[in-house]
Amino acid sequence: MSVSQMMQVVQAAMMTVLKVSAPILLISMAVGLLISVIQAATQIHEQTVVFVPKLVAIAVIIMVMGSWMIENMKGFAGYIFGLISSLG
């Protein structure tokens, strides 16, 4: 396996990780920011208040986008297995 092929594999892996994790991270960040603004406005500074809304938002995102995430990971796995079979 050449260096350029290895770089393509690493690039594909990084792009897959970014595509799969981005929806969860962005929604979690947005919910955290929204709850923080509400906490600042109401002067309730309890750290555990943010936990439940984030957990619910993450669960909803996984239910809504889970099949897309799995398809992305399945495509990457197929790509890797294709490379492995071509090497042997």
- Per-residue pLDDT of 29-45, as tens digits, reads 999 999 999 998 998 88
In a domain, 7, yes or no: no
In a domain, 6, yes or no: no
In a domain, 15, yes or no: no
In a domain, 78, yes or no: yes
In a domain, 12, yes or no: no
Which residues 6+ apart lie within 8 Å of 28 measured at CB?
54, 57, 58
Separation of alpha carbons 68 and 73, rounded Å: 9
Tell me which residue of 39, 58, 61 sits closest to 48, measured CA to CA: 39
**Alpha helices in 1-88, H assignment, sequence order:** 3-42, 51-87
pLDDT at residue 11, rounded to an integer:
96
The tens digit of pLDDT for each residue in 6-65 reads: 999 999 999 999 999 999 999 999 999 999 999 989 988 888 888 999 999 999 999 999
Over residues 73-82, mean pLDDT:
95
In a domain, 61, yes or no: yes
pTM score over 0.85: no
Task: Give the number of domains in the chain.
Answer: 1
Separation of alpha carbons 83 and 63, rounded Å: 31
